[in-house]
Amino acid sequence: MSLDRKIAYIDLSTGEIDVQPIPLEIRRKFLGGRGLDAYLLYNHAPKGCDPLSPENPLLVSGGLLTATCASATARTHVMAKSPLTGLLGSSNMGGFFAPELAWAGFHHLVIKGQARKPAYLFIHDGEIEIRDADFLWGKSTTETQWAIREAHDDEEVKCLVIGQAGENLVRFANVMTGIKNSGGRTGMGCVMGSKKLKAIAVRGTLDIAIAHPTEALEYNKRFIDQITSSKVNQTQGTLGTPFIWGATNSWGGIRTRNFQYNQCEYADDIEPERIDEIAEETIGPYHMTACFGCQVHCRAQYRIPSGPYAGIYDEGPEYTSQGAFGGEPDCKNAETVLVGNHLVDQYGVDNLEIGSIISWAMELYEEGILTKKQTGGLDLRFGNDEALLEMVHRICQRKGWLGQTLADGGIQASEKIGKDSFSYLIQVKGMNNLHSDERATPALALNVATASRGSDHLRSRPAIDLYHLPEKVLRKIYSSPVPYDGPLSSEHTEYIGKPWQVFWQENCYMAVDCLGICKYHTVFLGPTLPSFEDWPKVIEYNTGLQFTPTELWDIAERCNMLERMFNLREGLTRDDPKKGDTLNHRYFDEPCLRGAPDVVGSTIDRQKFTKMIDEFYKHKGLDRKGLPKPATLKRMGLQSEPSHML
Amino acid sequence: MHEKGNKVLKIDLQKCTGCRLCELVCSVQHDHVSNPMRSRIRVIKWESEGVYVPMACQQCEDAPCVAACPAKALRRNNELGRVEIDYDLCIGCRTCVSVCPFGAMHFNARDRKVFKCDLCDGDPQCVKFCEVHAIEFVEVGDVSLNKGREAAKRLHTAAQQAERL
């Protein structure tokens, strides 16, 4: 049985539009969402293409389960070659866009070319129009969305947009939808800006067939019970992701002052409870909001309580904004976190990247590597809230020498700044790390070092490694659906067995990204949440397609390999400090100064780290250089890629 | 007392997180497809303010749609506590759509039919799936009880705060 789901090819240069079905054979190999996008990228991006050139395809998709009766399938995936890293670019976001795109008749968009002048796409019930966006250019992310709704006189239109950061080709600009749902990391908004594509507006009233409606409803209810009974999701639903801050900071996992400390001095103002209090004071007792069909409702609503932005409505802030505008720059004001969060939402820029890159610049300034002339007179010291927020404006507007320089991302900036600046930059493959400090947690360090889109926690992080779960529990999770009888350790400071955990998580996250499910609904923060064994029924009841847990695992492994093949093709080599599977030297050389007793003094052990990488490569079927073995490619059916079936 | 016909949907708009799962399950339950345009319940949003209001048929005691229907295709079923459409009599004139003060009578442009909430014959799916209890199915006499209590609490708290000042 085939699914009636479509892919649209849109050429912004010529205005040509072509619509095709998605063959079942491709579905069974790459499932949908991120996996199918990886296939499209590998097949449509010319080798070595300039990420800002018309040839770079921008891929937008929903997952296999998007707009079905499966729980929390709100995710939109966006992929292209990254202008930040020159490698794989990939963003995954919640909200309401992907389901609406599905009801408008499409599950995948392949956008090529470059519009001559600002344009936006209007997609409705199987029709695709390229429209003039002069009236939108220069507008913020939310202004753009409201203006499109007004132009179409329809409040139900959902939009994927860029803000000024994307227009100004900031290399880590986001694509955004709603108030704060962000397609962050790797600069997909910059690619959209290079195409002069301000927005993709969708409105759909078409049916998505449900193969077995009664069973699909029943199973959805079962999933919801499983998901909402998890303590971690209950906490998420009360405090949002900021809840992670309290625990992580207390044991010493928050990098502070760029990378000088692994813990931010306690400050009431940026603790989750204070942020929750502000939401309660400014919105009311019920201040959590949700993405499409999700019962976790992890996003807070708030109004900025004080200062020049007082009264403005926004959503969040996430744990990442606490780091970007709290821990890393060592600022300790709730107002700064909330304003910073608001600015990145409005400009449409990655909060992790901007927080990290400004903190890096702060360290360079304090070390005398950046001069006051270069900062344009700004006293860019740690703890200077005003300078921090001013730099957000300058980067997004590409204003001044430093604003221009940092807008090109860490590696290009370090080449321009020179001296020893690169050695201070906490990045992998050209993308800065979020504010987490992995020096005491080898599993997490391996995850950021090997993640396919550069330093990132959402590709393969075994977050449950921090819970000290009994080995018996770990074994139950990590030896399904494929057997694993190697070592596993409950100790988060250990190196034993971690490569398998990272490998397992990499496949788990790929599977949910292919299905279009949110990671809070799988084994990310909660060990009791659904995974491979639970998905086949959801897929069958909703789509009629049958897969075994092992088949889903194989698909995930294949899609991860294809992402790796793309990165290898575009220049990834194992030990390259700018494009490799490695970490900044500070992970190995500078011990943790704060935190729990078993954390203080920790560094990543170089030899053990190398061994972990070797072992991780072995699990993936790569040789010691990190290249896929011919037998691996044959096993996965990837030996003749690019196969150009789509 | 505790009969089906005595229960109504009680909507607490403050609790709604805006996820729209109610719309999804409503369309799957009734039409066996996923499509919010087929849902009997709709979450109306003011996104820029973060305000979400689920809207469904109030099953009015003296319903304008029933009164206005020229084909007498609408009637109130007191046993099930709902207003029903008799599709054998319905002529598809959409008068009911235009007179409903809540926008809760819908017209499906594809099937060319009006449709509305039928309370899932006494087991509303929207209620079953709403974990935050923004939609509840309660005895009609109880609707105002909690509301009154909450309002009283607000007054009480305000009075206490005023005293402290």
Q: Please write the tens of the pLDDT for every residue from A135-146.
A: 999 999 999 999
B45 in A contact zone (CB under 8 Å) = yes
Model pLDDT, residue B1: 44
User: For chain B, how far is it from start to end, CA to CA, in angstroms?
Assistant: 47
Mean pLDDT over residues B42-69, rounded?
96
- Does B143 have pLDDT greater than 90? no
Strand, coil or helix: A266: coil
The token pair that represents A308 in the structure block: 């020049």
Model pLDDT, residue A131: 98
CB–CB of A58/A191 below 8 Å? yes
Q: Which of residues 47-106 of B touch A (CB under 8 A)?
A: 47-50, 52
Find residue A127's DSSP bridge partners.
A124
Task: Name the residue with tokens 């709704």.
Answer: A149
Which residue type occupies A373? K
B122 in A contact zone (CB under 8 Å) = no
A216 in B contact zone (CB under 8 Å) = yes
Which residue type occupies A481? P
Residues in chain B: 165
State the Cα–Cα distance between residues B114 and A246, nearest whole angstrom: 52
Residues of chain A with pLDDT under 70: 1-2
Residues sharing a CB contact under 8 Å with residue B158, sequence separation 6 or more, in sequence order: none
State the Cα–Cα distance between residues A336 and A298, nearest whole angstrom: 21
- Does B3 have pLDDT greater than 80? no
Q: How close B110 comes to chain A (CA, Å)?
A: 9
CB–CB of A144/A138 below 8 Å? no
Model pLDDT, residue A34: 98
Q: How close B8 comes to chain A (CA, Å)?
A: 22
Q: Which residue of A has its CA nearest to B31?
A: A213
- Does B102 have pLDDT greater than 80? yes
Model pLDDT, residue A227: 93
Residue among B29, B49, B131 whose CB faces A295 most closely: B131
State the Cα–Cα distance between residues A408 and A280, nearest whole angstrom: 38
Please calculate the CA angle A318-A319-A323 and round it to the nearest 5 degrees. Answer: 115
State the Cα–Cα distance between residues A50 and A45, nearest whole angstrom: 10
ipTM of the complex: 0.95
**To which H or E segment does residue A120 belong?**
strand A119-124
CB–CB of A230/A526 below 8 Å? yes
Model pLDDT, residue B4: 63
Model pLDDT, residue B148: 83
DSSP state of A174: P
A195 in B contact zone (CB under 8 Å) = no
Q: How far is CA A231 from CA A248, A443, A476, A529, in A?
A: 17, 23, 20, 11
CB–CB of A621/A632 below 8 Å? yes
Choose, out of A139, A202, A229, A289, the residue to mutate when testing the contact with B (most B CBs < 10 Å).
A289
Residue B62 neighbours by CB distance under 10 Å:
7
Residues sharing a CB contact under 8 Å with residue A196, sequence separation 6 or more, in sequence order: A12, A114, A115, A116, A117, A118, A119, A133
Choose among A149, A140, A141, A99: nearest CA to A122: A149
B143 in A contact zone (CB under 8 Å) = no
State the Cα–Cα distance between residues A183 and A79, nearest whole angstrom: 10
Per-residue pLDDT reduced to its tens digit, A71-94: 889 999 999 999 999 999 999 999
Strand, coil or helix: A301: strand
Would you call A69 and B129 a contact, using CB atoms and an 8 Å cutoff?
no
DSSP state of A62: E
State the Cα–Cα distance between residues A199 and A525, nearest whole angstrom: 33
Find residue B53's DSSP bridge partners.
B44
DSSP state of B120: G
CB–CB of A532/A477 below 8 Å? no
Choose, out of B16, B19, B46, B150, the residue to mutate when testing the contact with A (most A CBs < 10 Å).
B19
State the Cα–Cα distance between residues A266 and A285, nearest whole angstrom: 26
CB–CB of A520/A298 below 8 Å? yes
Identify all chain B residues contacting A315, using CB atoms and an 8 Å cutoff: 50
Strand, coil or helix: A160: strand
Identify all chain B residues contacting A224, using CB atoms and an 8 Å cutoff: 129, 131
Would you call B47 and A297 a contact, using CB atoms and an 8 Å cutoff?
no
The token pair that represents A134 in the structure block: 């002069």
State the Cα–Cα distance between residues A252 and A439, nearest whole angstrom: 10
The token pair that represents A511 in the structure block: 């599977």
Residues sharing a CB contact under 8 Å with residue A96, sequence separation 6 or more, in sequence order: A74, A158, A177, A178, A291, A292, B20
